[in-house]
Copies of this chain bind each other. A is one copy, B any other.
Amino acid sequence: MPRSANSPKSGPRTTARAAAAQDGATEPVDSSFLRTLVGYNARRAALSIIEVFMQRMSAYDLKVVEFSMLSLVGHNPGITSRQLCATLGVLPPNLVGLIAALERRGLIKRLPHPSDGRAMGIHLTAAGTELMQEAEQTVAQLEVEATSRLTDAERKTLIRLLQKIY
């Protein structure tokens, strides 16, 4: 049975992908060309951080995209599915199940949209608010650890340069 990123309270554990990348105590490989590419380095760095992210969020039984959804709902009460899709780059049919799961868990609730009868406004429940207060603190702490080899100034510079790209 494959490891579920959602299994609650499963302690820190490396992903199979990371394992595949680490076993290689074999011959060194020249990846100098790939390392000259911003895209390659950005992807490697993102995967490295997201791996830790998944480990820590498993304590809350949250996938990365679920954390992002809850964070956006928390900071944008009444946000619609359509806006979540646009912000997260998720297609509408694929968001349906994610929203349903969070609603079943009692973390979000959907209310009729005040001005658009087609849409539903999404809000955090009290339980969702409580969960996210802890989860966002955990994530902020995780960020510090994941970028511990950077100074504060470097970290700010890095974020500024990344945002200039997208």
Contacts and interface: CB of A to CB of B under 8 A. Distances in A.
Question: How many copies of the chain does the oligomer comprise?
Answer: 2
Contact of A42 (B35, B49, B139, B149): B49
A136 interface: yes
A86 B33 CA distance: 17
A41 interface: yes
B165 A161 contact: no
A134 interface: no
Nearest to A163: B41
A87 B136 CA distance: 32
A150 B164 contact: yes
Contact of A158 (B23, B38, B82): B38
Give me the 5 closest cross-chain CB pairs, A-B, nearest first: A24-B86, A39-B49, A42-B46, A48-B166, A41-B162
